């Protein structure tokens, strides 16, 4: 076929020049609305010198000012002159041979960095046939990421750790530890761990780039027909961002993944059996990856459109080591906020058009159109229906004292968008309001989420509640919270209105340190110490009346973190004596019937 192409270059170029794209296509177009959290792009690299020297024409043509590419295949009919068959593919963003990696970074990838810095998970995959430009794209992007992370433009301080691993078949290696073999394991909490992989703390751009270069040098490569040093493995570069101001928040993660090259059939001719096995493994893991990205996009599209009762999309992330490693990106049960970018790398040479068609088809399949969401009527009890103005109004009235600045927390977001913001970013934005505390921000975040979950669980009940007596409804709500029913309570210092059921924070003395969370304890007041019986004992087995200097104190039940994030249980039989001077502040807790836990509120 290569000789046939070379013999028909002039005719091919004439047919391509005459080509008129069809205006009616049943497929999605580049204007099809897809999930904003999964962007599928393609980058067509320039023709390489040897491809030009051999005289091959370009087979991939980008339509002006669109994200659609026409791929014209040369066909050899049984009789008559050569003809072309054309295929068009659309993606969310398409970059041509003149686009630099910098342009790709600024336009597409840059937002992943502040997202992960703020506590979210950002993932970039480069996919494509061997020698299509994946490694060149990812290594260039890694350099721009390194610059961005270290140029001081990101908000706040983070501890940055990085690791780079390689997945070859079922085996994983640490590229920052001399290619030592590591294991991908799921711990008892269902979290995937790269057991044995070293994490390096980085504080400057130079060291970071040195690690990237060292890892690249260790990555296993084999010559293929298309590329003298083809990567036959997936390389995963992971940055983890710890926020020292929020030790309990989940760390932000940024993954940059250079996938192993999918190979064209004509390359496979030269394969021995072990290369065939390797190629099969690569293609099977890329196929599982496609199902996972699509599955997650479908799950996101369902949640955007409010289809919460639908059977959740199946995401087969356990079927390959690659997707198991990225479980928290794909698992529909994961609560982490994710943004994913796919860059399909395309070789424009007509001789490789078959593989380029596969790459573009793969990219197109990753795009899941957003179902037309019903325009939901505004409901004050359903955050998913709030526009920016309604959201800001709710923040103003519900964020506690001092009230969080809505313009900083939600400068442009609507209800669904604020719900997707990573928790750490939500809290960081709240803390920009003078006087706001971490506890207040956490409790406020929980309050928004609780409202959202309640509204999803029982939309019908909410509609009914809207029509019932609001005074009675708020009285009932009070009975599920530790808030003081006294209307003027907030004007009276909490120490002067201590009552059974009040929850307070207190810094525990050394003997109670094991009960502390971030050096703080929470306790629910039960009764004055004097009211406890003579033989009542505290959590350490001491008689409470005999505790020195505690005569003025209250017998309290410890309030301890529970299994779900932000949830608490009351340890009714873990009693402690807390003196009034040791109490720091009143903390409001709310009972959640569905999870049977308490949550902090504001």
Ligand X SMILES: Nc1ncnc2c1ncn2[C@@H]1O[C@H](COP(=O)(O)OP(=O)(O)OP(=O)(O)O)[C@@H](O)[C@H]1O
Residues that bind ligand X in the complex, under the rule CB under 6 A: 45-46, 48, 128, 130-136, 224, 227, 230-231, 261, 345
Q: For residue 308, is it left (φ>0), alpha (ψ between -120 and 50) or beta?
A: alpha
Q: How far is the CB of 263 from ligand X (least distance, A)?
A: 8
Q: Which C-beta is closer to ligand X: that of 220 or that of 414?
A: 220
Considering the complex, state which of residue 236 and residue 368 has its C-beta at the smaller distance from ligand X.
236
DSSP 3-state assignment of 584?
strand
Return d(Cα 188, Cα 167) in angstroms, integer: 23
Residues whose CB falls within 8 Å of the CB of residue 453, separated by 6 or more in sequence, listed in order? 594
Nearer to ligand X, 175 or 298 (CB): 175
355 in a known ligand binding site: no
Residue 126 or 146 with smaller CB distance to ligand X: 126
372 is in an annotated binding site: no
Nearer to ligand X by C-beta: 356 or 575?
356
Residue nearest to ligand X (CB): 261
**What is the smallest separation between the CB atom of 101 and ligand X, expressed in angstroms?**
7
Beta strand 521-528 pairing with 503-506: antiparallel
Interatomic CA distance for residues 209 and 145, integer angstroms:
10
Q: Is 161 annotated as a binding residue?
A: no
The number of angstroms, rounded, from the C-alpha of 57 to the middle of its chain's C-alpha atoms is 41
Task: Confirm whether residue 170 is marked as ligand binding.
Answer: no
H-state helical runs in 194-351: 205-218, 265-268, 273-304, 321-325, 327-330
Closest approach of ligand X to the CB of residue 219, in Å: 9
What is d(CA 251, CA 384) in angstroms, rounded to the nearest whole number? Answer: 26
Q: How far is the C-alpha of 441 from the C-alpha of 580, rounded, in Å?
A: 25
Residue 135 known to bind ligand = yes
Q: Answer whether the bond into residue 410 is a cis peptide, omega within 30°.
A: no
Tokens representing 454?
A: 């309640």
Joined together, the tokens standing for residue 414 give: 């609507």
Query: Minimum distance from CB of 46 to ligand X (Å)?
Result: 5
Question: Nearest CA to 339 among 193, 145, 124?
Answer: 124
193 is in an annotated binding site: no
> CA 493: distance to chain centroid?
42
Bridge partners (DSSP) listed for residue 200 = 162
532: annotated binding-site residue? no
Angstrom distance (rounded) from CA 383 to CA 387: 9
Shortest Cβ distance from residue 230 to ligand X (Å)? Answer: 3
Shortest separation between residue 231's beta carbon and ligand X, angstroms? 4
Residue among 223 and 551 whose Cβ is closer to ligand X: 223
Residue 541 in marked binding region: no
Among 29, 3, 9, 2, which residue's Cα sits nearest to residue 84?
9
> Looking at beta carbons only, is 96 or 306 nearer to ligand X?
96
Indicate the residue among 136 and 562 with the shorter CB distance to ligand X. Answer: 136
Nearer to ligand X, 231 or 482 (CB): 231
Shortest CB 168 distance to ligand X, Å: 13
- For ligand X, the closer of residues 128 and 416 by Cβ is 128
- Tokens representing residue 324 in the block: 């198991």
Cα–Cα dist 129/140, whole Å: 18
Nearest distance from residue 435's CB to ligand X, in Å?
51
Whether the ω angle into residue 402 lies within 30 degrees of 0, i.e. cis, is yes
Strands, E assignment, 492-535 = 503-506, 521-528
Whether the CB-CB separation of 446 and 454 falls below 8 Å is answered with no
CB of 51 to ligand X, least distance (A): 10
Q: For residues 312 and 420, what is the distance between their CA atoms, to the nearest angstrom?
A: 18
Min dist CB 395 to ligand X, Å, is: 45
Residues of the binding site for ATP: 128-135
Residues of the binding site: 128-135
């Amino acid at each position: 076929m290569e000789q046939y192409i070379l013999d028909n270059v002039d005719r091919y170029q004439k047919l391509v020049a005459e080509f008129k794209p069809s205006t009616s296509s049943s497929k999605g177009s580049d204007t099809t609305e897809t999930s904003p959290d999964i962007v599928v792009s393609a980058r067509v690299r320039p023709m390489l010198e040897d491809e030009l020297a051999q005289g091959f024409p370009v087979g991939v043509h980008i339509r002006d000012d669109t994200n659609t590419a026409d791929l014209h295949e040369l066909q050899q009919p049984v009789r008559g002159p050569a003809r072309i068959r054309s295929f068009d593919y659309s993606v969310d963003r398409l970059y041509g041979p003149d686009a630099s990696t910098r342009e790709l970074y600024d336009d597409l990838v840059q937002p992943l960095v502040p997202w992960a810095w703020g506590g979210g998970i950002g993932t970039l995959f480069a996919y494509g046939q061997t020698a299509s430009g994946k490694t060149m794209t990812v290594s260039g992007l890694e350099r721009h990421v390194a610059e961005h992370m270290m140029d001081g433009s990101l908000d706040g301080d983070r501890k940055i750790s990085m690791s780079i691993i390689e997945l070859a078949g079922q085996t994983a290696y640490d590229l920052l530890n001399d290619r030592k073999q590591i294991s991908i394991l799921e711990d008892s909490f269902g979290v995937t761990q790269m057991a044995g992989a070293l994490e390096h703390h980085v504080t400057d751009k130079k060291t970071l780039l040195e690690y990237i270069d060292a890892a690249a040098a260790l990555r296993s490569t084999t010559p293929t027909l298309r590329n003298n040093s083809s990567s036959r493995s997936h390389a995963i570069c992971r940055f983890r961002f710890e926020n020292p101001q929020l030790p309990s928040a989940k760390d932000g993660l940024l993954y940059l993944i250079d996938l192993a090259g999918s190979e064209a059939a004509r390359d496979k001719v030269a394969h021995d059996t072990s290369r065939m096995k390797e190629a099969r493994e690569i293609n099977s893991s890329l196929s599982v990856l496609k199902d996972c990205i699509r599955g997650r996009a479908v799950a996101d599209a369902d949640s955007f459109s409010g289809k919460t009762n639908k059977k959740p999309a199946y995401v087969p992330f356990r079927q390959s080591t690659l997707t198991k490693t990225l479980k928290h990106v794909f698992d529909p049960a994961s609560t982490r906020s994710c943004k994913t970018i796919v860059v399909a790398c395309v070789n424009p040479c007509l001789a490789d058009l078959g593989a380029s068609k596969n790459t573009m088809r793969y990219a197109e399949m990753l795009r899941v159109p957003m179902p037309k969401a019903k325009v939901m009527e505004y409901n004050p009890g359903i955050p998913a229906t709030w526009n920016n103005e309604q959201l800001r109004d709710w923040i103003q009235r519900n964020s506690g004292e001092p009230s969080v600045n809505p313009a900083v927390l939600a400068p442009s977001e609507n209800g669904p968008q604020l719900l997707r913001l990573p928790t750490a970013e939500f809290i960081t934005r709240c803390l920009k309001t003078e006087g706001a505390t971490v506890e207040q921000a956490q409790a406020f975040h929980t309050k928004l989420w609780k409202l959202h979950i309640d509204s999803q669980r029982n939309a019908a009940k909410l509609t009914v509640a809207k029509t019932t007596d609001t005074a009675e409804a708020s009285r009932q709500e009070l009975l599920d919270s530790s808030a003081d029913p006294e209307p003027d309570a907030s004007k009276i210092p909490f120490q002067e209105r201590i009552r059974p059921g009040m929850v307070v924070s207190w810094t525990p003395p050394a003997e109670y340190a094991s009960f502390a969370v971030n050096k703080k304890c929470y306790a629910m007041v039960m009764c004055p110490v004097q009211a406890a019986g003579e033989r009542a004992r505290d959590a350490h087995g001491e008689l409470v009346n005999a505790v020195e200097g505690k005569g003025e104190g209250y017998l309290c039940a410890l309030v301890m973190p529970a299994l779900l994030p932000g949830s608490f249980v009351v340890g009714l039989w873990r009693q402690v004596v807390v003196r009034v001077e040791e109490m720091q502040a009143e903390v409001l807790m709310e009972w959640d019937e569905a999870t049977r836990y308490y949550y902090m509120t504001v």
